[in-house]
Amino acid sequence: MFVNVSDTCYHGFIVINVEVDKTGNESNASVIRRFTKRVQGAGILTRVRRIRYKKREPSAFTKKKFVLKSISRRAIIDELVKMGKMPIDRREQKKWIKTNDKL
């Protein structure tokens, strides 16, 4: 008597099948145990858990938007430093930005 038990994991285009056959007088518990060992060995669960919370890569537009925003922020900071309204030291600038909330 043969019983096929399989699990399929779809990740992108990768399909991983794990198959266990039940032989003559083998108990169901041992078949399930062998199946879980095969799944662990194939690395299906670790791969799925690894990609579970993965963020996708930002698009070119979002990168450009972020860069333009940082450039404009840098220009404002340089102008405030020139006028003497903001400290020159970077650590003090961060404290100043938190307290004054200008940017």
Domain boundaries, the chain: 4-51, 60-100
CA-to-CA distance for 47 and 38, rounded, in angstroms? 14
CA-to-CA distance for 82 and 59, rounded, in angstroms? 35
CA-to-CA distance for 14 and 79, rounded, in angstroms? 53
Q: What is the DSSP letter of 85?
A: S
- What does pTM read for this prediction? 0.43
| pLDDT tens-place values along the chain, 103 residues long | 344 444 454 545 456 678 888 888 989 999 999 999 988 888 878 888 888 887 788 999 999 999 999 999 899 888 988 998 888 887 787 777 778 766 6
Q: In this structure, are residues 44 and 16 in contact, taking their beta carbons and an 8 Å threshold? A: yes
* Of 41, 5, 6, 2, the residue nearest 23 (C-alpha): 2
